[in-house]
Amino acid sequence: MSRNNAHPGTDPGKHWRQETLLLHQDAHLATDTSVVAPIHYSATFRADTPEEFAEMANTPRHPGFYSRYGNPVHKRVEAVIAALEGTETALLTASGMGAISTTVLGLVKQGDHVIAQRRHYMSTSKLFEEVLPRFGVASTIVDQTDLDELAAAIRPETRLIMVETPVNPTLTLTDLAAVATLARARGILTIADNTFASPLNQKPHDLGIDIVVHSATKYFGGHHDITAGAVCCSEELAEKIWSMHVTLGSVLSPMDAWLLLRGLRTLSLRMERINANALALAQWLETHPAVERVYYPGLASHPQHELARRQMSGYGAVIAFSLKGGFQAGTRFVSALRLATHAVSLGGVETLAVHTAAMWAGTMTEEQMISAGIEPNFIRMSVGVEHIDDLKADLAQALEPDPAGI
Ligand SMILES: *Cc1c(COP(=O)(O)O)cnc(C)c1O
């Protein structure tokens, strides 16, 4: 069981297509002859000589020194994710927020200025709007669909721009190539949260974005069983972010890293089905009399459909739609679902749906929700890999008019 027992014929090259690299990109990192990667359940690793110990301790991102610094299973997952995003390397974290906060905190210092979007994943907004200012990092929040507003927000001390596309609640897009061009000309780093699209549908790094972050809890894991995150970037940036990672300690367990690797093996199969199912459902919902409006980048009615076609090759699992009939209609719909599961999250094999306004139902009236910009009749759905006819049948019965006429 030599440490250098590479899989014969392994050639981790750029020529492999996504379907292939998902299965084989990490084979050259095999530590023994098992066909499936072993789980290295060890917090610490032995050195055979004092020289080796010194080398292990002083090599950044060493995969076999101490598991907060790296682990052989992490290394394999990182190889696959980096190849998928087209970046030099990747760094695994214990969650998507672990990836985002470690990246941002690893790159800014007091006195820096950062720019983020008006809409982001909620905890990302909190990082930019509340946490960074507490440590002397100023942030400006811009409407990501307005490039002039973005350009005007740039200051001499602007260090990074954070974007996320598509983004909740109405699947608004950010023009990645345009943001990258704007930032690169001024030496500003760009970070894109690519969770909602997945690299099979969108490749921010190919469009000029420096750092791509993921909640691997979503499509990568794909089974709604683990939380995990990833940062994809150059070796140079990864080393910087890793040194913050060692301090913050958002470390994925070897078991969850292994489950993530197992999830990644089928990512392209799942994405194909998810893209097809979600587009079909979005089109079908658009024609349904109980539905007011559907938001999905793949629909011709999406206000940025042209941009979607330019920067995405598929449109992902998430569909948002509003129902006729206000808050009650939302409550009725999620209660009536029989196949789709009433739960948050996205990108897994099972279809999930939530009535987002219900989260505020205990604390706000319907009128208060509307004035706070929360649509009381809004449904967010993550379409899974079930048969499309079964999904349509479930939605159809849940959308049927209430026999009591409420
Ligand atoms: C879920 C999600 C996150 C956070 O990821 P966790 O794995 O839950 O920490 C960040 N960004 C987006 C777009 C997400 O959907």
Domain CATH number, residue 112: 3.40.640.10
Does residue 1 register a pLDDT over 70?
Answer: no
What average pLDDT does the structure give for the chain? 94
The domain in which residue 273 lies consists of: 268-398
User: Which one from 203, 218, 332, 380 is the annotated catalytic residue?
Assistant: 218
State yes or no: is 175 an active-site residue: no
266-302 tens-digit pLDDT: 999 999 999 999 999 999 999 999 999 999 999 999 9
Residues 92 and 80 reside in one and the same domain: yes
Tell me, in angstroms, the distance from the centre of ligand 1 to residue 48's CA: 40
Domain C-terminal end among 212, 245, 265: 265
Higher pLDDT, 249 or 14: 249
Under the banding of pLDDT at 50, 70 and 90, the label for residue 8 is: very low
Structure pTM?
0.95
The confidence score (pLDDT) of residue 368 equals: 85
The confidence score (pLDDT) of residue 186 equals: 97
The confidence score (pLDDT) of residue 32 equals: 92
DSSP state of 33: S
Instruction: Enumerate residues lining ligand 1, CB below 6 A.
Output: 95-97, 121, 164, 193, 195-196, 215, 217-218, 227, 229
Higher pLDDT, 264 or 373: 264
User: Which one from 26, 112, 193, 256 is the annotated catalytic residue?
Assistant: 193
- With tokens 């060890």, the residue in question is 42
The confidence score (pLDDT) of residue 364 equals: 87
The strand pair at 352-355 and 378-382 is best described as antiparallel
Residues 39 and 116 reside in one and the same domain: yes
Atom 8, ligand 1: which residue's CA is nearest? Answer: 96
Residue percentage of the chain with pLDDT more than 90: 90
**376 vs 324: CA distance, rounded Å:** 10
The mean pLDDT of 154-178, rounded to a whole number, is: 97
Best residue for ligand 1 mutational test, from 162, 174, 193, 215 (most atoms within 8 Å of Cβ): 215
Among 178, 170, 180, CA closest to 118? 170
Residues 234 and 278 reside in one and the same domain: no
State yes or no: is 41 an active-site residue: no
Does residue 164 register a pLDDT over 90?
Answer: yes
The confidence score (pLDDT) of residue 248 equals: 98
135-145 tens-digit pLDDT: 999 999 999 99
Tell me, in angstroms, the distance from the centre of ligand 1 to residue 24's CA: 27
Do 196 and 319 touch, CB atoms closer than 8 A?
no
Atom 1, ligand 1: which residue's CA is nearest? Answer: 215
Residues 317 and 332 reside in one and the same domain: yes
Domain CATH number, residue 389: 3.90.1150.10
